[in-house]
Amino acid sequence: MTDTPTDAAKTSFPAVADMRTRVLVLGSLPGDASLRAAQYYAHPQNQFWRLMEALVERPLVGRPYEERLDVLRDAGVGLWDVIRQARRAGSLDTAIRDHMPNSLATFAATLPNLRAVAFNGGKASEIGRRELAGVDGGPALITLPSSSPAHAALSFERKRAAWMALRPFL
């Protein structure tokens, strides 16, 4: 697959979650490396899998993708994106335009054990909180520093410390 042209719409992946999901991690929209690989967080410098490895205390980095997803599901972690479709040149959230959100409130209602929704970065939080605004008595909403390589100013150790806020919900 070649790079997606600037004017082409980019679409999120299906949700990875089930009845065991207690924490739902929401990104904004898969980046170009992830879209090419058809895998969440496929960019080699994205710290997501290292952060999840620390959170669930099970090896993930270096495992086949489907095994990583199985480990997350077994640990009660689900994945999805706040944006269903948008136009974006490249992979930066600041370039997102004409977005259509995923039906987050409807989806969250299908997860009976959901305790927390974690937003992977500011753009995901901005859109996701707006989509979940009317959900009374819903899950805790937690904004986390982005795992993206575009947000390298914050050290991995500081990101890991912030992401550990999810542990009590597992």
The tokens for 155 are 């050290």
Mean pLDDT within 32-59? 96
Tell me whether residue 102 is one of the annotated catalytic residues: no
Tens digit of each residue's pLDDT (9 = 90 or more) over 80-119: 999 998 888 777 666 678 889 999 999 999 999 999 999 9
Q: What pLDDT score does 76 carry?
A: 98
The tokens for 154 are 């914050």
> 101 with 84: CB under 8 angstroms?
yes
User: Is the pLDDT score of 128 beyond 90?
Assistant: yes
- What is the pTM for the complete model shown? 0.92
> In the structure, what pLDDT confidence band is assigned to residue 7 with cuts at 50, 70 and 90?
low
Spatial strand order of the sheet with 83-87 comes to 9-11, 83-87, 97-101
Q: What pLDDT score does 1 carry?
A: 41
Domains in the chain (CATH in brackets) are 23-169 (3.40.470.10)
Q: What pLDDT score does 27 carry?
A: 94
Q: How far apart are CA 104 and CA 135, in angstroms?
A: 10
Q: What pLDDT score does 6 carry?
A: 57
Q: What pLDDT score does 159 carry?
A: 96
User: Is the pLDDT score of 8 beyond 50?
Assistant: yes
> 141 with 57: CB under 8 angstroms?
no
Q: How far apart are CA 60 and CA 58, in angstroms?
A: 6
More confident residue, 134 or 1: 134
Query: Residues 46, 102, 113, 120: which is the catalytic one?
Result: 46
> 18 with 78: CB under 8 angstroms?
yes
Q: How far apart are CA 31 and CA 91, in angstroms?
A: 4
Q: Across the chain, what does the average pLDDT equal?
A: 91
The tokens for 164 are 């550990």
User: Is the pLDDT score of 124 beyond 90?
Assistant: yes
User: Is the pLDDT score of 4 beyond 50?
Assistant: no
The tokens for 2 are 């070649």
User: Is the pLDDT score of 63 beyond 60?
Assistant: yes
